[in-house]
Every structure is written in structure tokens, then in C-alpha cells.
Amino acid sequence: MKLKKANFLEFPIDPLSNGKEKVSNLIRENLAEIDRLIEINDKNYLNFVAPLSDLHRKMHELTVPISHIHHVQNSEKSKDVYSSILPELSNYDSEISQNLQLYSSLKEISRDNLNIEQLKVLNDLLLDFRLNGAELSDENKSRLKDIDLELSELSNDFYQNSQDDIDKYSLEIFDKNDLIEMPESELNSARSKNTERESWVFNLKMPSYLAYMTYGNNRNLRETLYRTYTTIGEKNSEIIDKILALRDERAKLIGFNNYAELSIADKMANSTNSVLKFLEKLADKSRIRAKDEVAELKKFANLEDLSSFDLAYYSEKYRKENFAIDEEAFRPYFERDLTIKGTFDFLSRLFEIEFIKINNINLWHSDAELYEIYENSELIGRLYLDLESREGKRNGAWMEGWESHRIHENIEYPASAFVVCNFPRATNEQKALWRHDDLHTFLHEMGHALHHILSRVNESPISGTDGVEWDAVEFPSQFLENFSYESQFLQSFAKHYSTNEPLSNEMISRLIRAKNFQSAMKTVRQLEFATFDFKLHMGKFAGNEIQNLLDSIREDLAPIIPPKYNRSQNNFSHIFSGGYSAGYYSYKWAEVLSADLFLEMVDLGIFESGLNLKFRDEVLRKGGSASMSELFFNIFKREPDETKLLRLHGILHSSNNQIN
């Protein structure tokens, strides 16, 4: 029987309008449906598990536009609406996840005649119920419910405190002598609207902050910006104590020794010890080289007291002098529209898909764009882009899935996703020119988006990025970002936006030679974050103990110790207001997979090896339907090779030459 095709959801004109009421109404409807499901006598997958899973889908599709607007167009209204629905959602989630009748019914579902996807959904649901306290006493369930509610509110408070500090700060510079090394494009972006006196304004949003930290010649001003950025979220220190105490209590209620054990229960890593050994192994291979890199930079800068706020500035100078790399010289070759088109053309060939831009559509902001994705002339997904930095928009870059591919009652539903970044805007003087790092970021988020959109899994709970182990979910994004240094990709589109001159082989060679510049320093910085996060959640820390732990890890790992005032943990949103608590190691864990695949593909020929389509078919299409260790094995018929990651970063050497 031929499948019918469902239409996409249309993004609401005003997602915040009656947002709380809509969420409350759906909660009531879903809870009534759960009561009905429980009363079914002869339960099976189709009449019980599938409808139960569908309740989560409905809630997700309703709330994603609300949270999306809160993060891309933050306002008093979005704060009010978003904050008001968090307690209800937390209570709702707790009520479902702790419902012993639901849990008991799931345990009794017959596994006979279930396909692989249905078995995975059932097993994931049972694990979720256990991890959310379904087996606890009524008293402990009530306590767990209170914990989850408080954690939800604290995480939002943490994010909002950081965002408020970022939004309220600006540094106005009147003396152009403090900007003598600033590229013209950055000057144009920073030029203030002050009509009485010429000035330039820098803030704590990434494009602006990085511009001055990289090119600002006034060391005092660099330290001022750095001190302000690394002390963001002073109010969050007490919130961190509360979050850690609640997470520890939550883990122990469910039967784990600590929150780290709870965190990896549904990940690829099979023990806390395996995570620590993994991080230590990478650190052993990286820390000595990282110290050598700092020593080289000190000698170059002729600055014995080289500090953290000097690193970006002198590193950029060192790169220019020793690798002939001037980031500014590359920007004209990455004009926004040409770069997006070039990226989409390459991805189209890599995965045999097609991107079509939809014009004349009203979205949440004039910056936003919509693309539809086709495969074999069939519309399979929608991609929303919101790429420019602006006031009220959360820092960083992220992908969020909205609709997931699924088949229900002979109807096939397509997938859609958002990619949000904070790239430089066009000005009256010039077009939007991306940094090479911006291209790198865009490819990363596109990896996530295609993982979600190209899924062909039929069950929504494990479709796309849903159901993928958290320490493997970065695999596709990290794999794709590697192409930002790959000559075949760059030569396919990179042309000077005004002269149409192609990016020369010599420039690409310089870019490739510089790829691993200070790679060991970058690696140990990520290992510092990951080790701090994991050890923090293996013990019981509060107050000064948290700073002491971070200091001890920095003493062991950091090639240059940050100033004492640095309290970066107060703005560590990944673990305190994001999904990476006791899971920051996942970036490196998944990077082992991505480095292995990338090096194999490049060695054998990007389009000739067949690995591009194997990756599409085994990883992107299968979503969370199987463990990533199984999907990786399906491609290579072997386990991942950890040394490939260190080779890719130039920290280890291949048998013949260093891998660039």
C-alpha cells in the first residue's frame, strides 16, 4: 500500500500567544489519554506503546517554537511565557515518568513480532522510566518530582543570569589608537551610532568579543573585556551549589553512587572509569605538546607574564608571521550567501540530496530563512536558518529538531530542524563576510541538522537525533566540520565576493598547514572542561570546593593558568543549563568516530570510497534505532581507532608524515 505524505507544520506567527494556556490544555489532554491507555485490557505495541510515544511528540512540537523564540528573540514576554511553562512541563514529565501503572504495563508488553525499531523504543522507554524513578516509593517519587521541578527552574535561572550579564555590558572605545590593528570589517561592525563623537562599541557576544580579543592592541582593554566575560553570572555560584546537590540527591534516590553514573547509564561509555581513562589517555598525549606551544608563544611575544587574555591576540600575530595566515584575508572568500550555496552544493553531492530555498515566507525575524530538502525528487525535510548575531539572541550556535520523520497509520511525516548561529551581519558598507571559523561552525550544525532530517526511522522516539546516545550524537557534526579544511570542498565554491577570484591553491595550502596550530592547547582546554565536568559530578562539591577542583585540574592540564578572578564555571551553560552535565566528554568521545571516518574517506577519495553513502545510510538514516557502536561497526567492520583523533590534530604522527 502506497504511503500518504503529510504536510509540514507551519511555524506559528506568534508562538508566545496563549503559550501557557496551550501547554496546559495539551497536558490535560495527554494525561486523560494516558488514563485511557492504562484501561486497555489487551495491551500491545500498536495500541499502547505507539500512542504513548506520540504524546511526547505532540508536546515537543508545541513547545519547541516557544523555546525557540525565547532563545532567538529574548524579551520580557518570552521570559514570562517560557518561565511559566517550565514548572508545568516539569510536573508533567515527572508525573508520566514515575507512573508505576505505565511502567508495569510496558514491562508486560509482548516482544513477539516486534521489529528492531519497536524493540529499541520499548527498551528506551523502560530505561527512561527506571532512570526517572518509576520503581521508587511514593514518598521518594514525590521528592524526585520536586527535585526535577527545581532543577528545571534553576537551569533557566542560570541561563537567564548569564544572558542578562551579556546583554547589559558594552565597552565603548573613543581612541582609534586602541584599534590600530583592527580589520576594517570589524571596525565597521563595531562602529557606534554616537553622532556627537566617533566611537566603536564591543560587547560580550561572540563575534564582537572575539574581535577585540584577537585584534585589540590595548592590553588593558583586552583584560577588561576578558575579566568581564570570565566573571559573567556571578549570581550563578549559589545556583551551581543547589544544582549539584539536587543532581547528587537525584542519582542516589534512583540507586546510583553519583550523578556521573546516572548520566552514562544510557550512553556508549560503559563505566565512569572508562570515561576517566579515555580523558587521561588523550591528556597524556597532549599536555606536553601544549606546554611547548605556550613556550613558543611566550618567546614570540617576548612577554614572560603572558596571560589568558593575551592568547588570542598573540596567537593571531604568530599565525600571520609563521603560517602567513591572516583570518581577515580569507573573509572575502566566505561571503555569506556564496558560502551557504557552496556548502549546500557540496552536501548535495556528498549525500545525493538537494536544497531549495523558499522565498516570500514570513518567519520570526527577517534574518530567518527556509530551505526544503529533496532526495530523488521527493521532498523529505525542511531546514530553518537563523545565522546572524543580534540583540536578544542567545550566544553560540545550535541545532534543534522540530518535526521527526515517522510513519503512522500509513502516513509518512517529514522532518524539520532549526540551525541557529551568531555570525557577523552585513552592514551598509559591506556584505556579511564569514570567518573561516564561522564556516567550521556552520558545517558542524549542518551535521546535526542532516542527522535529524535525513532519518528514515519510522518510530519518532528514535528518529533523527532522538534516541542517539549522548556521547555519540556529535559524530555527524564533527565529521562534517572537518571538511572546512579540505581543499576539494573549498575549491568547489570559495571565490572573492567582489573580484570573483577563486581561493588559490597557495592560500588553501596555508590554511591546511595552519590547521593544527596550537591544536594541543585547544585539546587540553576541552579536556579541562570535560574532566572538570565529570569529576564534579562524581563527587559532592559546593562553594570553594568547586573552584579548588577546577584549579587542581588546571594545574594538571592547563599550559597557562588563568587569572584567579576567572570564574568561568558560572557561565558553563553546557553543563548547568544545557544537556551536557557529566557528558561534556562526549565531544571528544564522538570525535574519535568522526576523525576515523574522515581520514579514511579522504585517503580513499571523498566520492570514490563509497564511505559517504555508507555514512548516510548507516548513521544519518538510522538515527537512534541502534547503538552508534553497532552502526560504526557496520561501516568499517572494526572498532574505532583512537589514534586517528590525535593524528588528525597533528599531536601524533602517522607512520610517514604528520596528518594535516
Q: Is the pLDDT of residue 599 over 90?
A: yes
Q: How many CA atoms lie within 13 A of 131 on its CB side?
A: 18
Is residue 653 very low, low, confident or very high in pLDDT (cuts 50, 70, 90)?
A: low
**Nearest alpha carbon to residue 451 among 407, 481, 483, 417:** 417
Report the 10 Å Cβ neighbour count for 580: 21
More confident residue, 504 or 247: 247
Is residue 195 very low, low, confident or very high in pLDDT (cuts 50, 70, 90)?
A: confident
pLDDT tens string 622-635? 999 999 999 999 99
Q: What is the DSSP string of 84-98?
A: HHHHHHHHHHHHHHT
Strand partners, 418: 384, 400
Report the 10 Å Cβ neighbour count for 555: 9
CA 650 – CA 659 distance, rounded (Å): 6
Q: Report the DSSP pairing between strands 411-413 and 4-5.
A: parallel
Q: Is the pLDDT of residue 658 over 60?
A: no
Mean pLDDT of 129-150: 91
Residue extent(s) of CATH 1.10.1370.40 domains in the chain: 332-515
Mean pLDDT of 145-151: 93
Mean pLDDT of 551-576: 96
More confident residue, 271 or 660: 271
Which top CATH class is 11-97+99-135?
Answer: mainly alpha
- Crossing angle of the two packed helices 50-72 and 19-38, in degrees rounded to 10: 170
CA 534 – CA 118 distance, rounded (Å): 33
* Residue 186: predicted pLDDT: 93
Q: Is the pLDDT of residue 296 over 80?
A: yes
Per the annotation, the verdict on 117 as an active-site residue is no
Is residue 369 very low, low, confident or very high in pLDDT (cuts 50, 70, 90)?
A: very high
Q: Is the pLDDT of residue 460 over 80?
A: yes
CB 271 within 8 A of CB 264: yes
* Residue 512: predicted pLDDT: 77
More confident residue, 173 or 517: 173
* Residue 1: predicted pLDDT: 65
**Nearest alpha carbon to residue 617 among 416, 401, 454:** 454
Strand partners, 254: none
pTM: 0.79
**What CA–CA distances, in Å, run from 336 to 333, 361, 434, 497?**
9, 20, 6, 9
pLDDT tens string 42-56? 999 999 999 999 999
Q: Is the pLDDT of residue 92 over 70?
A: yes
Which residue in 316, 400, 445, 459 is the catalytic one? 445
Residue extent(s) of CATH 1.20.1050.40 domains in the chain: 11-97+99-135
pLDDT tens string 412-431? 999 999 999 999 998 888 89
CB 624 within 8 A of CB 467: yes
Q: Is the pLDDT of residue 656 over 60?
A: no
Dihedral sign (CA 575, 579, 583, 589): negative
CB 585 within 8 A of CB 534: yes
Q: How many CA atoms lie within 13 A of 479 on its CB side?
A: 30
**Mean pLDDT lowest for which of 97-111, 135-149, 319-333?**
319-333
**What CA–CA distances, in Å, run from 135 to 43, 102, 122, 340?**
21, 11, 17, 50
pLDDT tens string 235-293? 999 999 999 999 999 999 999 999 999 999 999 888 999 999 999 999 998 999 999 99
More confident residue, 198 or 656: 198
Backbone φ and ψ of 161, nearest 5°: -60, -45
* Residue 187: predicted pLDDT: 94
pLDDT tens string 9-48? 999 999 999 999 999 999 999 999 999 999 999 999 999 9
* Residue 220: predicted pLDDT: 98
The fold for domain 332-515 equals: Neurolysin; domain 3 (1.10.1370)
* Residue 323: predicted pLDDT: 79
